[in-house]
Chains A and B, each alone.
Chain A
């Protein structure tokens, strides 16, 4: 009998199931046990063990026919942002208290159709707004990694922090995440896992609670690049219910993983060298450059001149869209409704419901968004941010047109930080976490975070690769080459 089934990667488990070395039910039960033992991580916020076992058994029956998709029988966690039929879906917010959708998001449905087993819902920053998981109504998830013997609890990153923590701690084989400004890649980097945000339009947004519609994309968070390729394929595809989903065939991303990047041109953008960047991040980046060069890639220095405007533009566009997207949470039809006093009318109902239902970070962004869209400010903020966005997109188009195949950057400006460390800081300091990742969302490009090393304190650090639109296969292959060269095998020591 195989042991530690929850520690398997997707590809290992898939192969084991096909060899009949184990069963989906056995892997699922191993994960459920691990989840139950990992309350301290606060990663899973709604558990669905009965559903998981039932789906695992169905998967085993399907596997027995010898004709099952890659994801069949593989237990995964689903970010709370995804609506899942009959299972609480709260987007980490009090305002969706008690909300149980009668529908299933397209992405989680696609996974279910392939036989993947949902273990439950994963913690996240409220409405995916946050970089530390601390804005969650459930309380933050905790990073399984620690600084050596220091017991300080660290953030798993955000907003997909629960997903990252769960995958890193082997509570599930993989998880879904969503990424609006870095919410897959930053937590992946903080937890030594792999996370890819595909090209905007690759995965349907239908049934995923919207944060910023023009930026939101779902993607897999996995233990290996191969797993990311496997799971991304299952999540992708055109959806007539999402007008922004692309009518393009979904390639077999795993088949692209040759590890051969000889002759590929990798761009190193000089604007990503930030003032005050920790030397360890700098060193990691240099090592990444060398690894790719050793693998036969051509390294070129490139310029993405509008990079410095990306973060401000992002923090105009994303809140603007959010302020409108979150207007539907008004206490009228579902979710939380504030208790009203005698004589209160509809305005009081809106005000009290939204004041109680939304946490401070969400309120801040709704207010910023409302402000930048207001008459008199629209052109100065929103329209200018849109122009910046066009310029940023053009920066990338230019370097791709000049023959760059992928761009290598650090994934984050630091390793995981301590929970509560930023509690009193200016919110902008928290926003700086997204400095390397938001450009990718603004340009709609695919980006992947791959673990590439540990810092002096033993915390994982990630590199980001940015690819050409719709070329996730090539991007994954480049990441595969980095993964191989880095030989990152570290795991957090189990303390929970």
Chain B
């Protein structure tokens, strides 16, 4: 069992002119399902294709075309649900959400309003060692993405690119359990991490395959606890939804700005209107997109082109059995098995590629040493080069080879750093580099002894001083190391110097 005991973080408090205020945040995250084909059409989902290259007759909503569910996307949604410890609904159904927009060729989005495929789950969002927020997931449903309208190519015309039309999205809806901008960003980061471990979403926010609608409201301290006891939303403030955010930084900014806007309204005796807003990062403000009165009537109804989606418990069980190790479990294992600190384990498990690299290096070696080399040397260099693990010039085998040489006492830690630089810049094999460049540590005590004798003989005055003050023995060690080009085993040198000086 995982030990997930944790303290709950304090909610963010914003001081208004009259009172302190707390934030209450719920999020709807749209995660693009990692799949080669769209949700209902079989067309490709490849990112960066020529406009309208990935469009089938179904995507273009030609007359008489019909949707057929992509079973793999269903599997991915189930996998995601299992990864978020959620209930899987063996019976779900698709509904049509009707509205007109040029990048929505059918005139409706196929979604799951009434019977989503995934029910209640949870995500543990760590805010520091031993401090975490448990965010409840209300539901996850499958739906189609829309296309893209392009308004800036021509002064008189708009263009439509349907490549994204019909791509499968999972909408992951949280309860209003997030209590501040940092928690919101951490929640997204944690979701992204889990989805990437599961392989169900690439999580590339820049490409828009992870986007969030953020619901923000404010309340006085104590009100949220009443909501928690009763699940009665009337204890909370009126929420505004900030649409379509795809940057963690902007999400945090937008929440802060929106909360301050609401506080100002309420403290001035006004009322917050429930509405949809957009965040403008240039102006640092949110502005109204449409009010509740202007809200679309989507006229949801069950899609008659699709049968209810029925899945078998055995199929779900098979997916559950094949679920990969998830970040929380992996981090706990790294701490328990390799003795890593909470911080180191967190960094190594943040991206599944990092963890995979670490495990390949640590395999059969000292895990802590592997972690140190990756976290300090490799990540340091990659960061300097503005690169990441996926572009690392160093393979786990190469780094492992280097660590093996240190462990065997063949090279010192200092030499190892030099070898690391050579491996990183020029490639090759650590053992061969050490051999070819004569970097092997001298452990032959005879050879070291000769050098020690030479240094002692050449510096009688220093010998006297050192005998009087043993701390000065280090000077002799340094001289010997210098004379051997750093290859002498430092432990052996230390021991011999002390012995020869009679310390």
Contacts and interface: CB of A to CB of B under 8 A. Distances in A.
Interface of A: 82-83, 89, 91, 96, 99, 101-103, 105, 205-210, 212-214, 240-244, 320-321, 323-324, 326-328, 330, 332-334, 346, 350, 370, 373-375, 378, 382
B301 A91 contact: no
Nearest to A204: B66
A207 B64 CA distance: 4
B306 A374 contact: no
5 contacts: A89-B63, A206-B66, A321-B304, A330-B107, A346-B158
B105 A333 contact: yes
B160 interface: yes
A324 B63 contact: no
Contact of A243 (B68, B158, B300): B68
B68 A101 contact: no
A376 B63 CA distance: 30
Interface string B102-121: 10011110000000000000
A212 B304 contact: yes
Given A208-B64, A324-B96, A332 B105 contact: yes
B67 interface: yes
Nearest to A347: B100
B64 A333 contact: no
A81 to B, nearest CB: 8
Contact of B307 (A101, A102, A243, A374): A243
Contacts of A334: 62
Given A212-B304, A241-B68, A328 B102 contact: no
A328 B57 contact: no
Given A324-B96, A373-B98, A210 B64 contact: yes
Contacts of B15: none
A269 B307 CA distance: 31
B69 A324 contact: no
Given A214-B304, A373-B299, A327 B63 contact: no
A243 B299 contact: no
A99 B63 contact: yes
A243 B63 contact: no
A332 B102 contact: yes
Interface residues of B, number: 29
Contacts of B160: 332
B105 A243 contact: no
Given A332-B102, A346-B158, A243 B62 contact: no
Contact of B106 (A89, A328, A374, A375): A328
Nearest to A345: B158
Contacts of A89: 63
B147 to A, nearest CB: 11
A378 B60 CA distance: 28
Nearest to A328: B61
Nearest to B63: A209
B65 to A, nearest CB: 7
Contacts of B62: 83, 101, 103, 333-334
Contacts of B69: 243
Contacts of B337: none
Interface in B38-86: 57, 60-69
B305 A327 contact: no
B435 interface: no
Contact of A83 (B64, B107, B158, B300): B64
Contacts of A212: 304
Contacts of B60: 333
Nearest to A95: B63
B297 interface: yes
Interface of B: 57, 60-69, 96, 98, 100, 102, 105-108, 158, 160, 297, 299-301, 304-307
Given A328-B107, A370-B299, A240 B63 contact: no
Contact of B63 (A328, A350, A374): A328
B63 A96 contact: yes
B336 to A, nearest CB: 48
Contacts of B68: 240-243
Shortest 4 CB-CB contacts between residues of A and residues of B:
A327-B107, A373-B299, A214-B304, A213-B304
Given A243-B66, A378-B299, 12 more contacts: A83-B62, A101-B63, A207-B64, A210-B63, A210-B305, A214-B304, A244-B305, A323-B98, A326-B107, A330-B102, A346-B158, A350-B100
Contacts of B67: 243
A332 B62 CA distance: 11
A209 B307 contact: no
Contacts of B300: 373
A330 B305 contact: no
A324 B66 contact: no
Contacts of B306: 243-244
B106 A327 contact: yes
Given A212-B304, A333-B61, A327 B98 contact: yes
A91 B63 contact: yes
Contacts of A375: 297, 299
A387 B79 CA distance: 35
Contacts of A105: 64
A209 B61 CA distance: 11
Given A243-B307, A346-B102, A350-B100, A206 B107 contact: no
A138 to B, nearest CB: 17
Given A333-B61, A375-B297, A328 B158 contact: no
Contacts of B307: 243-244
Contacts of A213: 304-305
Contacts of A350: 100
A324 B301 CA distance: 9
Contacts of B100: 327, 330, 350
A244 B306 CA distance: 7
Contacts of A82: 64
A189 B108 CA distance: 37
Nearest to B306: A243
A77 B120 CA distance: 54
A208 to B, nearest CB: 5
Contacts of B63: 83, 89, 91, 96, 99, 101, 209-210, 328
Contacts of B107: 324, 326-328, 330
A327 B108 contact: yes
